Amino acid sequence: MSFDYSFRINDRMYGINDELLGSTLGDFIDCHTITFSNKSKRLGTNGVMFFLAGHDQFGEACYRFICPYLINLVKLINRDLIAVDFLFAEKSDDYPDLEKGAPSRESIVEEAFIAKLTSDPQGRNNNFSNTLGALLDSDRHNFYDAERLINSKPYFSEALSSNAIRFSTDKTLYIPITTSEAIKIKSLNKNSKFVHGEFFSDNLLGENNTKLIYLESIPELREIEQNDKFSRVGSSVSIRSFAQHFCNEVNLIREMILQSSNLHCINSFSIRDAIYIEPLFPLFKKILISMSAELVFEGLEGEKIIPIKDGLSIEEVMGSPDQELLVAILIPKFDSSRANYGKNKESQKISTKIDIALHFEQKIMQRLLLG
């Protein structure tokens, strides 16, 4: 049987038909009764962590945690994923006996925070108690297929090519690989839209004569460039990468990360999403104002720079011609004397949580290597 599109999990190819592109990865796995468990007959996503191959803000290959029920198949076309069975040698569905091994209170707090970040927010499979139980049980830290996650594959260093995916006769998703290509597509298609927001909603895909322009495959929008005067942050840089880069400079960034309920959102939503969909990260505009940031738009006539000021609504900031694309944020070089580093015990707890959220995959890899 031939398929229109495909993606790979643990080097195995999975074909998908175009009518399923609006479905989530979790729905696809459940529907096809796929298992990633090596030692039991568990099916679907239960007990499995998923990581999507990509690259960080410096262009280095990396894997990022994703929640399978919050990502559409259309975003996974030609992508590589790793599924790691973190329950592996299951003993029971009960809570672990905390008397054995006696983890410290600090350890339990850290594990609880990891469970909160990685549990399925819809409560379908990897719920909080199940995830926390697995993390606290050291006997379960023999992750199956761990070497796949450790040996990261590049994504954007590959030879990318533009693509156009037709859902139906009146629905098309364009996937350009340069900003100039995206702007030209927008100018030539009157009813087209740049896709903002990580999730493809049914309403968006259900509109008639829909032409969407997907921006996540444009490498230049996913990178942070620096010089002596400012940092130029591409508009597709994830909230996670942005926070990693500027976390120690603005305390509001730390607060924003702690307010986020799920690591998937931090990993998958871009700073462009955070600007256009303000309720997602309500602190983000304040963060940009405190950093004296400016927005860089690019259109057929070239670049335009707009400062973000207090009292200026997002709608006013975005009140630009339809063909203009938000390509970057300019942030002046930071004055280190303004940094506020907490020294008290509560600040140390917050720093530990921030460290977990911003370096999650590295910490998982440490467990994989240490066993």
What separation in angstroms does the CA of 294 have from each of 11, 18, 89, 289, 319?
Answer: 42, 39, 51, 9, 15
The model's confidence at residue 37, banded by pLDDT at 50, 70 and 90, is low
Q: Is the pTM of this model over 0.85?
A: no
Mean pLDDT rounded to a whole number for the chain: 75
Cβ pair 155, 54 in contact under 8 A: yes
Domains of the chain: 5-155+355-370 (no CATH), 163-213 (no CATH), 222-338 (3.30.465.10)
Q: What is the pLDDT of residue 219?
A: 85
104: left (phi over 0), alpha (psi -120 to 50) or beta: beta
Cβ pair 162, 176 in contact under 8 A: yes
The winner for highest mean pLDDT among 248-252, 299-303, 318-322, 346-350 is: 299-303
d(CA 250, CA 288): 10
Cβ pair 126, 119 in contact under 8 A: yes
Q: What is the pLDDT of residue 282?
A: 81
Q: What is the pLDDT of residue 94?
A: 46
Q: What are phi and psi of 150, to 5 degrees?
A: -70, -40
Match 């297929």 to its residue by tokens: 145
Q: What are phi and psi of 175, to 5 degrees?
A: -125, 85
d(CA 293, CA 304): 14
Considering only residues 121 and 184, tell me which one the structure prediction assigns the higher pLDDT. Answer: 184
Cβ pair 23, 75 in contact under 8 A: no
Here the tokens at position 1 are 């049987």
The model's confidence at residue 234, banded by pLDDT at 50, 70 and 90, is very high
The model's confidence at residue 294, banded by pLDDT at 50, 70 and 90, is very high
What separation in angstroms does the CA of 348 have from each of 106, 189, 262, 266, 341?
Answer: 11, 52, 21, 21, 10
d(CA 62, CA 54): 6
221 class by beta-carbon count within 10 Å (0-12 exposed, 13-18 middle, 19+ buried): buried
Considering only residues 319 and 238, tell me which one the structure prediction assigns the higher pLDDT. Answer: 238
Q: What are phi and psi of 231, to 5 degrees?
A: -105, 135
d(CA 30, CA 46): 10
Q: Which residues pair with 242 in a beta bridge?
A: none
Considering only residues 166 and 214, tell me which one the structure prediction assigns the higher pLDDT. Answer: 214
Q: What is the pLDDT of residue 92?
A: 45
Q: What are phi and psi of 70, to 5 degrees?
A: -120, 15
Least trusted range by pLDDT, from 47-61, 87-101, 226-240: 87-101
Cβ pair 290, 252 in contact under 8 A: yes
Here the tokens at position 291 are 């950093």
What separation in angstroms does the CA of 370 have from each of 20, 188, 312, 366?
Answer: 39, 54, 50, 6
pLDDT at 209 over 80: no
Q: What is the pLDDT of residue 181?
A: 93
User: Nearest to residue 297, comparing CAs of 310, 288, 307?
Assistant: 307
pLDDT at 36 over 80: no
Could you say which DSSP state residue 156 is in?
T
pLDDT at 98 over 60: no
Compute the C-alpha angle 32/34/37, nearest 5°: 165
pLDDT at 228 over 50: yes
Could you say which DSSP state residue 72 is in?
B
The pLDDT tens digits for 63-96 are 888 888 888 887 888 888 888 776 654 444 444 4
User: Nearest to residue 137, comparing CAs of 84, 174, 98, 110?
Assistant: 98
Compute the C-alpha angle 182/165/7, nearest 5°: 110
pLDDT at 321 over 70: no
DSSP string, 145-201: THHHHHSPPPSTTS----EEEEEETTEEEEE-SSHHHHHHHHHH-TTEEE--SSS--
pLDDT at 330 over 90: yes
Q: What is the pLDDT of residue 257?
A: 83
Percent of the chain topping pLDDT 90: 10
